[in-house]
Amino acid sequence: MKRRQKKREPESPSALQVINAYTAAMAARDSTRMESLRADGFQLDFVHGDASQTDPLSAEETRMFWSFWFVAFPDLDWEVTRAIAAENVVVTQWVFTGTNSGPLDPSILGSVEEPTGITIQLRGASFYDVNEGLIQRETAYLDMATLMVELGVQL
């Protein structure tokens, strides 16, 4: 008598696998792949000022943010220097490097900024909440003042 094997449901990728794919897509400026790894209700929370200043970006606002960022820094490099992973949370330390050769949209710095031609380097950390193979939320910690100073933006 032959035993029937149970058909197993495919497992979702681990949170670390999802974030590795996401950051690789970011470094490759692959907006479509990045979007495919975010949940419909995804939120991007930039922590760089007063906690009451801004609400997290929605999935649509996040899509627009990255398209503007990729125009402003078409040669960007996004290097993850450290990752710590749990079942549903991944924390990454990263270094962003890029030359500002495209205009910065007002959604990034609050006003339209013409390209400076300046190459900047910025460190930060992101906390990703992942569930069922999709990123639900990213909370990104970065020093926006350093970004503005490096770009030569008048405060």
Residues lower than pLDDT 50 in the chain = none
Tens digits of residue pLDDT in 117-142 = 999 999 999 999 999 999 999 999 98
Within its chain, how far is the Cα of 15 from the centroid?
Answer: 15
Give CA–CA dist 141/132, Å, rounded.
Answer: 24
pLDDT at residue 149, as a whole number: 85
